[in-house]
Structure 1
Amino acid sequence: MQRVEARGVLTAKRVRETTRLDRLFQEGAAKIRLPSRTGEPLEAILINTAGGLTGGDRIAWRIEAGEGTSVAITTQACEKLYRSSAGRAEANCELVAGAGARLAWLPQETIAYDRSAFARRLDVELAEDAQLLLLEATVFGRRAMGETVGHAMFRDRWRVRCNGRLVHAEDVCIGPDVADLLSRTAVTGSATAMATLLLIGEDVGRHLEAARAIIGESGGVSAWSVGTTGKLLARLVAEDSYGLRARLIPLVEMLNGRAGLPKTWSL
């Protein structure tokens, strides 16, 4: 059967105090669109024209924010992970931010269906004074649609380096018995929607109390100093995607500063 083999690349540069597109490459089902807007950041929308991913599909994205640029990346819609008859779907994401750059990776939720299989790898390289806002949210079945996920495989690997030094690493593996795992109190207590949000940059700890007020009892947030930079990490869980967004949207709006929420999130 035909499988998706797709790749998209976007690089941005600073031109007369404004972030401009430098290079755009798209292949296969990977498309990138740049909505018209005034001011910063340069906003790009990633699109998978295949409409979702299933076993054997491969999609890759590379985003480079050049020195002094401001770039925000989001998606046209939620990425859907369909039932896999063989193998797994894979997504590889590479993010690079140069000196003084600000990069926000804010895709909409990934929706996993029953019997899906998926692995994502996210590698980030930051200059010492670059700032990163990184979000990934996952929903295991949409309750409003009557969807449930009993068995699936979901893997997520993050590696974030600042000036060549590893500042954040995590590996998440959920499955194969998703329903049993998520039902455990120490995991999500039967919540099927979850998100991880990472902010790296100077003095990010100033957002700690405000972030805790937004998240409440639906997750947790902590902040540290790592070498010459700071790190704020938030995790949220909710019964469904609606409940997740109710806290995720104000959190992103606060941490993303004047750039606020990507346009597609409000559609």
Structure 2
Amino acid sequence: MIRTGQPILQRVRATGRLSVKYSAGKTRLDRLFQEGAAKIRFPAPESEALEAVLINTAGGLTGGDRVAWTVEAAPETRLTLTTQACEKIYRAGSGHAGVAVSITAGTRARIAWLPQETILFDRSALRRRLDIELAEGSEALLLEATIFGRRAMGEVVGEALFHDRWRVRVDGRLIHAEDFRIGPDIAGQLGSPVVASGGRAVATLLMTGDGAEGLLEPARAIIGTNGGASFWRIGPTGKLLARLVATDGYALRAQLIPLVGLLNGQAGLPKIWTS
């Protein structure tokens, strides 16, 4: 029987799971699963630290698309996670795009979640979720950067919906939670002096661990007047939180490069950021 009406559109389903272990002085791949549009690649040989590049082969997301990444870092491991390119969120005819990231880290592990920027287009809709479970004594550096239309490309985001949800726990104790929601009047809200004063690009970085406090003043020097940074302790856990606002993605990246280089220590920037 021939049916008329709205076509049934194919949706992106991407699931990637990765675990690493520490063996013979190196962080090594333990298990890898990839399904649908999800692919994971390793640009350099296994070493004391390992870098993984997450890829959405669909080339972007729209309403109804779903991407999920799950990562387990065993005790003593060093792992940096990034993305192959900026994730693009296109106009949604209905529903929303969903991106979920779940990361666990064992004792004395160090993980860095450093995806490249997410770019929202006009009338897009995105719900993004970041869930982090850390063991006592582990460290994490977490970044999410979002661009509301690329100024150089003449893109303007008038209406969209964006919800960014973070939950970070250490030994089951919640140390950081935030829910950032904006829309549907993106242009009007970003123009407010208490939101972005007309800026189109924003970023949040969270660093946990004993070394975070000593990096507060150098981080503030990099950020300048384009955001702010603070440090405090929740129980024995120290955390440094930084927020940046920029006129466009180019200006935001210019600040993120030195800031991530500072906070990520010897691991530095993901290789793909400068390739």
TM over 0.5, yes or no? Answer: yes
2:60 corresponds in structure 1 to 52
1:87 equivalent to 2:95? Answer yes
In the TM superposition, 1:163-182 aligns within 5 A as 163-182=171-190
Looking at structure 2, the residues matched to 81 and 213 of structure 1 have their Cα atoms a distance apart, in angstroms, of 32
CA RMSD of the aligned region, Å?
0.8
User: Residue in 1 aligned with 2:265?
Assistant: 257
Question: Within 5 Å, which residues of 2 pair with 1:100-249?
Answer: 100-249=108-257
1:38 CA drift (Å): 6.2
Displacement, 1:246? Answer: 1.1
Runs of 4+ in 1 over 6 A off after TM superposition: none
2:151 alignment partner AA: R
Alignment partner of 2:44 out of 18, 28, 36: 36
Tell me which residue corresponds to 1:17: 25
Which residue pairs with 2:3 in the alignment?
A: none
CA distance in 1, matches of 2:100, 2:117: 16
Q: 2:212 touches 2:238 (CA, 8 Å); kept in 1?
A: yes
In the alignment of these two chains, the number of paired residues is: 267
Deviation at 1:202, TM superposition (A): 1.3
Q: Which runs of 5+ in 2 are unaligned?
A: 1-8
Q: Which amino acid aligns with 2:197?
A: G
Provide Cα deviations, 1:179-212, integer angstroms capped at 9, x if missing partner: 0000000000000000000000113110010000
Shift of 1:37: 4.0
SS of 2:111's equivalent in the other structure is: strand
Q: Structure 2: which amino acid aligns with 1:76? A: Q
Q: Secondary structure at the match of 2:214?
A: helix
Query: Do 1:40 and 1:259's aligned partners in 2 also have CA atoms closer than 8 Å?
Result: no
User: SS at the partner of 1:148?
Assistant: coil
CA contact (8 A) 1:112 1:141 kept: yes
2:175 counterpart SS class? strand
> Which structure: larger Rg?
2
> Deviations for 1:79-109, whole angstroms, at most 9, x for unmatched residues?
0000000100001100100000000000000
Contact 2:28 2:47 in 1 (8 A): no
Q: Which residue among 73, 79, 104 is the counterpart of 1:71?
A: 79
Q: Secondary structure at the match of 1:189?
A: coil
Between the aligned partners of 2:169 and 2:96, the Cα distance in structure 1 is 27
Deviation at 1:261, TM superposition (A): 0.2
Residues 92 and 38 (structure 1), Cα distance of their counterparts in 2 relative to 1, 3 Å cut: closer
Equivalent pair of 2:63/2:97 in contact (CA under 8 Å) = yes
**CA apart distance, 1:156:** 0.5
Secondary structure class of the residue paired with 2:252: helix
Shift of 1:225: 1.1
Q: Is the 8 A contact 2:89 2:118 kept in 1?
A: yes
What amino acid maps onto 2:13 in structure 1?
Answer: E
3-state SS, counterpart of residue 68 of structure 1: coil
Equivalent AA in structure 2 for residue 53 of structure 1: L
CA distance in 2, matches of 1:179, 1:185: 12
Contact kept? 2:163, 2:179, Cα under 8 Å: yes
State whether residues 169 and 175 of structure 2, in contact with CA within 8 Å, keep that contact through their aligned partners in structure 1: yes
